[in-house]
Amino acid sequence: MKELIKGNKRFREQKFPSLKNDIQKLVKEGQKPDVLFIGCSDSRVTPDIMLDVNPGDMFILRNVGNFVPPFKCDEDYHGSAAAIEYAVSVLEVKHIIVCGHSHCGACQSLYKEIPLEKEKVVHIVKWLELGAEAKAKTLSLIKDPEDKEKLYSLTEKISVTYQLKNLLTYPDVKRRVENGSLKIHGWYYKLEDGSIECYDQQKERFISLEECVNGK
């Protein structure tokens, strides 16, 4: 906690002055981000830093495994769904990025028995069901399931493609994608070197972010 307090002091003294005018404008006029970024809660994933963006540029949703729960119309609590709806239907973002990453603990957990008492992690166990299809698809494709590095890496990437499909179960996302006012993107962030790959839906494979942008 002491380091966080020191960090805020450094932020206020060193960084905030250069952002002050922009932030005051955002306070006065409200936020209008173009991008909804859906990423993992993993502490090593840092959307603002790794994309070098300013306050107001991205509406950020983070959860375990960067999973997108399918649309479900009921009266239960749906935090991730609420964030997606708010970004798409209220803020009217133009892009949604689902960003997976290497060494994802959620994807690795799909292949492990959770040893803790179930009642202590009941929500984790349920949430990980969102990765079941990606796990099954990975196991049908991989040649050597004992090669854990390749197993986890492939699962992480395939999971991103399933989250993109789940996004299209949201009525307003589907509507806006179909009329061209919204684009969805699948990204894969490598913790090792900070690079990003994007999913090419036509080629059905991940390519470098630069190649993806230059090809469109």
Integer-rounded Cα Rg, in Å, for the chain is: 19
Is 40 marked as a binding-site residue? yes
- The DSSP code sequence of 16-77 is HHHHHHHHHHHHHH----SEEEEEE--TT--HHHHTT--TTSEEEEEEGGG--PPP--SSS-
Measure the CA–CA gap between 184 and 162, rounded to whole angstroms. 12
Is 42 marked as a binding-site residue? yes
Q: Which residues make beta-bridge pairs with 65?
A: none
Please enumerate, by residue number, every residue annotated as part of a binding site for Zn(2+).
40, 42, 101, 104
Please enumerate, by residue number, every residue annotated as part of a binding site.
40, 42, 101, 104
